[in-house]
């Protein structure tokens, strides 16, 4: 058989530990084992009915032709209306917000350009940057201060090659929410480096609890000519499978992203755009209701973790993840004699106990694991009890 030669550009784009753990969980289930999946970052709610109905109406009206590459005008206008001072020219509709990120990197990075990612970060950033020839520069947030950004460290990491600084609030995986002051501090650093742009991934914008969400668009209007906001309907409206996201940016970047998109997806599915328009312009009360359900689930997770010796966590203020530390149990032994040396070992051990969670190393921050609480509350309770039992069974090696 002829040998397949993989492109060099894929050399550093590994299968993420998120995908690996999801596979392991699926295989365990196929083998008939009982697994509660707190790994997956996907709301367990349904797409709102009015969004489904809008898509069906679009299909029945034969609104199924190629879309305009940058997106259908009513949806671009609706998105622009969410951000002061922006028009449809500042908006591109993409196949999920992930594709807005890929488009932006394709459109802006040259070989060796640097992009700052604040750890812990959604691992796809690093893969997308590498795929586009860039170099992810990882700057840890302050784990001792609820994962707030470390402005000194970011400032030191910036060089003449820094093209982007990426922020993600509320954060996947830490649940940290940037304050307006945090954003102003970051904005000051970007302002001091004219070749650097700010990318604000706001996909979890509607899922915040005790702390209000602050958008980079609202807090940093003076940086509007160097800011890309990325968001979409996946998380807030439980529409992951529709694959609709968007980018909001100065028109020259939107034009360049549209050029890249023209040779990629050539645009986002037209019925899916109709569904997204209905979600964004329809009744928004469901956001409050879902937020309260997520808050209840978060509190459930936090209550259980507080009772686990050796596991500590900050209190997430948004998204639907908790990112606890298990460092105090690193090097301890499981009942069948395995020493837990790294995050993957810990997560494999939890999988053995019946719970799928994701290693912190997958997000650039070892010594942690990510729990997604986008799951049924009874399942969360059962999973946390299984986890507590497994943690209590660990023994220190003397
Ligand atoms: C931080 C962050 N950004 C972007 C995305 C991509 O979402 P989508 O492509 O479904 O819009 C995700 C999905 O997990 C995410 O966690």
Instruction: Kindly state whether residue 137 falls inside one of the protein's structural domains.
Output: yes
Whether 101 and 126 share a structural domain: yes
Single out the residue in 281, 309, 336 at which a domain terminates. Answer: 281
126 shares a domain with 261: yes
> Does 398 fall in a domain?
no
Q: What is the pLDDT of residue 283?
A: 94
pLDDT category at 160 given cuts 50, 70, 90 is: very high
pLDDT on residue 102? 98
Looking at the structure, tell me whether residues 101 and 211 fall in a common domain. Answer: yes
d(CA 314, CA 75): 37
State yes or no: pLDDT of 45 exceeds 90: yes
Task: Output DSSP code: residue 170.
Answer: S
Residue 141 has pLDDT above 90, yes or no: yes
Q: Please determine, for residue 26, whether its predicted confidence score (pLDDT) is greater than 90.
A: no
54-103 residue pLDDT tens? 999 999 999 999 999 999 999 999 999 999 999 999 999 999 999 999 99
The candidate with the shortest Cα–Cα distance to 350, out of 44, 36, 122, is 36
One domain, residues 269 and 374: no
Residues 325-382: tens digit of each pLDDT = 999 999 999 999 999 999 999 999 999 999 999 999 999 999 999 999 999 999 999 9
**237 lies in the same domain as 318:** no
- What are the tokens at 205? 């914008």
* Residue where a domain terminates, one of 250, 281, 312: 281
Residue 106 lies in a domain: yes
pLDDT exceeds 80 at position 30:
yes
Contact indicator for 346, 239 with CB cutoff of 8 Å: no
**9 pLDDT exceeds 90?**
no
In the chain, the N- to C-terminal Cα span, in Å, equals 53
121 found inside a domain: yes
Segment 231-240, tens digit of pLDDT: 999 999 999 9
CATH number at 31 reads: 3.90.1150.10
* For range 266-290, the mean pLDDT: 97
pLDDT score of 13 more than 90 = no
Looking at the fold, whether 251 and 290 belong to one and the same domain comes out as: no
Residue 134 has pLDDT above 90, yes or no: yes
Contacts of 284 (CB under 8 A, 6+ apart): none
Q: Which atom in ligand 1 lies closest to the alpha carbon of residue 243? A: 10
Check whether residue 348 and residue 277 sit in a common domain.
no
Shortest-distance atom of ligand 1 to CA 245: 11
Q: Is residue 272 in a domain?
A: yes
Measured from the CB, is residue 40 less than 6 Å from ligand 1? Answer: no
**CATH classification at residue 213:** 3.40.640.10
Is 174 a pocket residue for ligand 1 (Cβ < 6 Å)?
Answer: no
At residue 398, does pLDDT exceed 90? no
**pLDDT confidence of residue 174:** 97
Angle of helix 251-262 relative to helix 97-108, nearest 10 degrees?
A: 100
Residue 146 belongs to domain spanning:
49-281
Indicate if 71 and 114 belong to the same structural domain: yes
Q: What is the mean pLDDT of the chain?
A: 96
Atom number in ligand 1 closest to CA 232: 11
Q: The whole model's pTM is what?
A: 0.96
pLDDT at 111 over 80: yes
Pair 261, 123 in one domain: yes
Pocket test for ligand 1, best of 92, 118, 203, 247 (most atoms within 8 A of CB): 203
Question: What distance in Å separates the CA atoms of residue 55 and residue 50, rounded to the nearest whole number?
Answer: 9
pLDDT (average), residues 182-195:
98
For tokens 């060089």, the residue is 159
Measure the CA–CA gap between 364 and 138, rounded to whole angstroms: 8
Last residue of a domain, one of 255, 281, 307: 281
In a domain, 2, yes or no: no
- In terms of DSSP bridges, do strands 114-119 and 135-140 run parallel, antiparallel, or are they unpaired? parallel
Mutate to test the pocket of ligand 1, among 92, 97, 120 (most ligand atoms within 8 A of CB): 97
pLDDT recorded at residue 96: 98
Write out the DSSP string of 79-111. Answer: HHTTSTT--GGGEEEESSHHHHHHHHHHHH--T
Residue 42 confidence (pLDDT): 87
What number is the average pLDDT over the span 130-138?
96
Decide whether any atom of ligand 1 lies within 6 Å of the 166 Cβ. no
Specify the pLDDT at position 10. Answer: 86
324-333 in b/e burial notation, b at 16+ Cβ within 10 A? bbbeebbebe
Q: What is the DSSP letter of 35?
A: -
Cα–Cα distance, 170 to 352 (Å, whole number): 31
Question: What pLDDT, on a 0 to 100 scale, did the predictor assign at position 2?
Answer: 87
Q: Are residues 76 and 36 in the same domain?
A: no
Domain-embedded: residue 3: no
306 and 351, same domain (yes or no)? yes
Please tell me the distance between residue 93's alpha carbon and the centre of ligand 1 in angstroms.
Answer: 14
Same domain, 241 and 384: no
What pLDDT is stored for residue 19 in this prediction? 81
Ligand 1 atom closest to residue 231's alpha carbon, by position in its atom list? 11
Average pLDDT, stretch 136-148? 94
CB 43 within 8 A of CB 238: yes
Instruction: Give domain status of residue 113, yes or no.
Output: yes
Specify the number of domains making up the chain: 2
* Cα dihedral 184/190/192/193 (nearest 10): 180
């Amino acid at each position: 058989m002829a040998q397949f030669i993989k492109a060099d550009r894929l050399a550093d784009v590994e299968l993420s530990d998120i995908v690996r753990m999801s596979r392991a969980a699926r295989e365990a289930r196929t083998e008939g084992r009982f697994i509660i999946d707190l790994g997956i970052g996907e709301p367990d709610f349904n797409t709102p009915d009015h969004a489904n109905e809008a898509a069906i109406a679009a299909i029945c009206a034969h609104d199924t032709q190629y879309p305009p590459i940058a997106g259908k005008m009513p949806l671009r206008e609706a998105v622009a209306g969410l951000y002061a001072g922006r028009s449809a020219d500042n908006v591109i509709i993409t196949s999920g917000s992930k594709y807005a990120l890929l488009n932006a990197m394709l459109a802006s990075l040259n070989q060796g350009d640097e992009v700052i990612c604040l750890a812990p970060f959604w691992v796809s950033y690093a893969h997308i940057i590498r795929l586009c020839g860039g170099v992810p520069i990882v700057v840890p947030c302050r784990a001792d201060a609820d994962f707030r950004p470390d402005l000194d460290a970011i400032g030191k990491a910036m060089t003449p090659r820094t093209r982007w600084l990426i922020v993600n609030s509320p954060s996947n995986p830490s649940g940290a929410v940037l304050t307006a002051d945090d954003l102003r501090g970051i904005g000051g650093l970007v302002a001091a480096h004219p070749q650097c742009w700010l990318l604000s991934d706001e996909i979890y914008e509607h899922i915040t609890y005790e702390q209000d969400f602050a958008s980079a668009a609202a807090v940093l209007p003076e940086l509007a000519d160097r800011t890309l906001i990325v968001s979409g309907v996946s998380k807030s409206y439980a529409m992951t499978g529709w694959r609709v996201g968007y980018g909001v940016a100065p028109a020259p970047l939107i034009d360049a992203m549209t050029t890249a998109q023209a040779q990629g997806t050539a645009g986002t599915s037209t019925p899916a755009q109709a569904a997204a328009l209905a979600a964004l312009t329809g009744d928004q009360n469901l956001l409050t209701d879902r937020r309260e359900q997520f808050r209840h689930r978060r509190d459930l997770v936090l209550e259980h973790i507080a009772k686990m010796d050796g596991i500590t966590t900050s209190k997430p203020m948004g998204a639907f993840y908790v990112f606890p530390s298990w460092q105090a149990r690193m090097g301890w032994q499981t009942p069948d004699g395995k020493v837990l040396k790294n995050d993957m070992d810990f997560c494999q051990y939890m999988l053995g106990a019946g719970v799928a969670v994701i290693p912190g190393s997958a997000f650039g921050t070892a010594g942690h694991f990510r729990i997604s609480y986008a799951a049924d509350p009874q399942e969360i309770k059962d999973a946390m009890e299984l986890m507590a039992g497994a943690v209590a069974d660990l023994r220190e090696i003397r």
